[in-house]
Structure 1
Amino acid sequence: MLIAGSRAERLPRTVWWLVLARAINRLGAFSVGFLTVLITTEFGVSAVAAGVVSAAFGLATIPSRLVGGVLADRLGRRRTIVAGLAGCALAQAGLAVSGSVAMAAVFAVLLGLVFEVYEPPSQAMIADAVRPERQAQAFSLFNTALAVGGMGAGLIAAGLGRWDLRWLFVADAVSCLLCAVVIRLVLPADRPAPATSRVSGTGSAWRDRRLLVLLLSGTLFAVIFMQVGMAMPLVLVARGLEAADAGLLSAVAAVVMVLCQPLLRWTAALSHHTAMTCGYLLLAAGLAGYAVSDGLPGHLAATVVWSAGDVLMFGRSYAVVVDLAPPHARGRYLSVFGTCWGFATVLAPLCGTQLLERAGPEGLWGVLALTCLLLAAAQLTMIKPMLERQGRTL
């Protein structure tokens, strides 16, 4: 008889259903990138006006994640996930049938307000279902589902986008509803924390200095990570390569993330802080590889290196947050930490374009690699001691 069955059986079924649902949702979540194009082509407004609508969407995603964390702890994980996905479906359908810029703007903001609601309860449900020593692997797998779904999303977007942009939003609405149905039918119901626990934990996440330190380091990491997607096409063009090659690099990164999942069992004995330090070092090496590469093979090799680092550290960062959070406030802690991606959405384009203009591709990747080295040093010499010292005083 096989020992514990296959690899898939080594994590609870809840995790695998959440991973599948996230991949399906990501498979359809490609329409947001075409929001500006839809507004300019369908309604004949300027790119500046369309950019304002897109910016309003991005800004609305920040409170969206916070709302998801509060609802996860107060209403329950499953209910919040289903409500968030249903809200996304409604907003996407509204964008598909919008007859004016004003109507599109309203549904864009509505989409932003519900876009991240399902993230904190999904992460909290994983934390609830998985033993502490396996949480890093589960969170990493959850992140990999996003990358894998993104590979298929590009192909679907290329097909439907050539037909009619509005169908992109219809397809996204359908995928959100499909995910909501899967979550509702296959995941176990959960109960919210008792009222006394919810009251005692209200606002505690923002008052936890340990979490705020992790939020700062997480924001720096998110800014770095997002440069690979945002700045890469510009860098490739500046070096005489095709901007479309950025899609190939993205696909390679997704493949590496999948192939590296079994390696997480080998690093399970490492502490979270040690693993994150190693991850930062691999990220630094990959970004340094981008700095010295002038051809596609060099960029591909660098992508393999930094992608392995991302797998090693991404799940660990969320596992550290779960370790800090009281059980009744996991949703709120994860949502506060998750706002690092909202902050990075604002900061990354500004930082990346300025660095690229002033220092060129070599300077951009060099500065980002140096920042990763600083984060690696800070993880062991500052963050770890601080978390352990303050943890003993609580």
Structure 2
Amino acid sequence: MSVTALRRATRESVSGLPREFWWLWTSTLVNRLGAFVATFMALYLTLDRGYSASYAGLVASLHGLGGVVSSLAGGVMADRLGRRPTLLIAQTSTALSVALLGFVRDPVAIAAVAFLVGMASNASRPAVQAMMADIVRPEDRIRAFSLNYWAINLGFAVSSMAAGFIAEYSYLAGFLIEAGMTLVCAVVVFVKLPESRPRQQQEKSVDEVPVSLGTVLRDRRYMGVVGLSFLVAVVFQQGSVGLPVAMGSAGFAPADYGLAIAVNGLLIVVLQIPVTRFIEHRDPRRLLVVSSLLAGYGFGLTAFAGSVGVFALTVCVWTLAEIVNAPTQTGLVVSLSPVHGRGRYQGVYTLSWSLAALVAPLMSGFVIDRWGAEWLWGLCAVVGTAAGAGYGVLMRRLPAEPAPATLAPVVPAAEASTA
């Protein structure tokens, strides 16, 4: 591809999106650039504080449990209070709890604050996704979600590298830097982002049912999608929980795992935008079927890996699945969500990933200890196949996306804060 063609492709990928989206995108990028704590938490607890690996695992589980709790709470807040107030509360709470985590020393206090960090940090996700759906035109949403996912991975790649250098200097500095950058995100939201929650219709039809968590849970097709998302998420989680254990058991050094998994972040940064241009207007059902199969069999091929190079090749396969799945799945969730229930629907969807983060480590450890890593990779192939078949059956008829003209006007920020 020539330089001119590359520039034109880049312009087409980023053009046409509203200014509010780019401020939200900037907030996401800054937030991920400062995400140091999750990277070095285990090292901080075991090396700096001298706790056992079991205790570090407990703290990580409590952090994940906090995310499970706030997935639903954050979705309800986004619909009731508004997207902007939810983001401000979540990001401010995250900054304060992360800073506090750097100062507490008692093991019970560390575990409790880690739970609060997980709860506060995850509460913003439904609001971010709901706001993005509010402000971006339906035909541009796949592209917008893809760009946001690209920012997440770019920020994580940079913060992961920076975390090692910061940890060598001071773990406390890492906590305070993350707290400061999260506050910057809150400032960006406060100054640059208006409330985007659609106004409730002034005259409701007789048949209109208010959206509650019960409404979401009774939506069988949507909950089917959430269940399939959970299966795919469990598979993807093996890249960070099953793969390092399996490589370590096979005699590979931590540096070997680092080299193999680095391919994941590199490919996402390089390929996310061009791949999105290819999939943007294609059938989401087929994309989800294909990505589920690629994820399952990408991890399944790991059973035949005997060198770092082959491990890296398998990472390439399931990373391509991740690139296709992430924006397509988020766009599908929006298309299945009623306008005035986006926060709750996004919260339940976020819950599927939070639960997967809890289940995947337990599953991988049990399977590897009981039967060996080969069985884990075979199980991933089975789960990916089941998810692909499920998408094919469940999503035969996708609902039509509501036209932009049918959306209710936006609630002013001052009014939303008192809603």
The TM-score normalised by the length of structure 2 is 0.84
Aligned residue runs from structure 1 range 191-230, under 5 A: 191=197, 193-194=199-200, 200-203=210-213, 204-230=215-241
Residue 249 of structure 1: aligned partner? 260
Q: In the alignment, does 2:136 pair up with 1:146?
A: no
Residue 394 of structure 2, aligned match among 372, 383, 394? 383
- Return 281-290 or 347-356, whichever deviates more: 281-290
Contact 2:40 2:163 in 1 (8 A): no
Residue 29 of structure 2, aligned match among 23, 33, 36? 23
Residue 303 of structure 1: aligned partner? 315
Residue 355 of structure 1, aligned match among 351, 364, 367? 367
Residue 8 of structure 1: aligned partner? 14
C-alpha distance 299-20 of structure 1, shift in aligned 2 (>3 A): farther
| Counterpart-to-counterpart distance in 2, 1:158 and 1:302 | 26
Report SS of the residue matched to 2:123: coil
Aligned residue runs from structure 1 range 150-299, under 5 A: 150-191=156-197, 193-194=199-200, 200-203=210-213, 204-258=215-269, 259-299=271-311
Residue 78 of structure 2: aligned partner? 72
Number of residues of Structure 1 aligned to a counterpart in Structure 2: 386
| Counterpart-to-counterpart distance in 2, 1:107 and 1:17 | 30
| Counterpart-to-counterpart distance in 2, 1:387 and 1:255 | 33
| Counterpart-to-counterpart distance in 1, 2:240 and 2:135 | 32
C-alpha distance 11-192 of structure 1, shift in aligned 2 (>3 A): closer
- Return 344-353 or 32-41, whichever deviates more: 32-41
Report SS of the residue matched to 2:254: coil
| Counterpart-to-counterpart distance in 1, 2:9 and 2:259 | 38
C-alpha distance 377-106 of structure 1, shift in aligned 2 (>3 A): closer
| Counterpart-to-counterpart distance in 2, 1:4 and 1:188 | 27
The TM-score normalised by the length of structure 1 is 0.89
Deviation at 1:191, TM superposition (A): 4.6
Identity %: 32
Deviation at 1:40, TM superposition (A): 5.3
Report SS of the residue matched to 1:29: coil
Q: Supply the RMSD in Å over aligned alpha carbons.
A: 2.6
Contact 1:14 1:187 in 2 (8 A): yes
Deviation at 1:217, TM superposition (A): 0.8
Contact 1:211 1:337 in 2 (8 A): no
Contact 1:161 1:168 in 2 (8 A): yes
Aligned residue runs from structure 1 range 301-380, under 5 A: 301-380=313-392
Residue 391 of structure 1: aligned partner? none
Higher helix share: 1
Letter in 2 for 1:233: P
Provide Cα deviations, 1:115-153, integer angstroms capped at 9, x if missing partner.
211101110111112222322232232222222222112
Provide Cα deviations, 1:140-172, integer angstroms capped at 9, x if missing partner.
322222222221122221112122222221121
Letter in 1 for 2:211: G
C-alpha distance 189-378 of structure 1, shift in aligned 2 (>3 A): closer
Contact 1:25 1:176 in 2 (8 A): yes
Q: In the alignment, does 2:137 pair up with 1:127?
A: no
| Counterpart-to-counterpart distance in 2, 1:173 and 1:191 | 27
C-alpha distance 267-127 of structure 1, shift in aligned 2 (>3 A): same
Unpaired runs of at least 5, structure 2: 1-7, 400-419
Provide Cα deviations, 1:293-340, integer angstroms capped at 9, x if missing partner.
211111222222211111112211121111111101101101111101
Report SS of the residue matched to 2:279: coil
Provide Cα deviations, 1:46-82, integer angstroms capped at 9, x if missing partner.
5544544443332121121211111111222122112
Letter in 2 for 1:175: M
| Counterpart-to-counterpart distance in 2, 1:376 and 1:208 | 20
- Return 52-61 or 76-85, whichever deviates more: 52-61
Report SS of the residue matched to 2:327: helix
Provide Cα deviations, 1:13-43, integer angstroms capped at 9, x if missing partner.
3333323322221222221354455455666
Deviation at 1:371, TM superposition (A): 1.7
Deviation at 1:89, TM superposition (A): 0.2
Deviation at 1:255, TM superposition (A): 2.2
C-alpha distance 54-314 of structure 1, shift in aligned 2 (>3 A): closer
- Return 244-253 or 219-228, whichever deviates more: 244-253
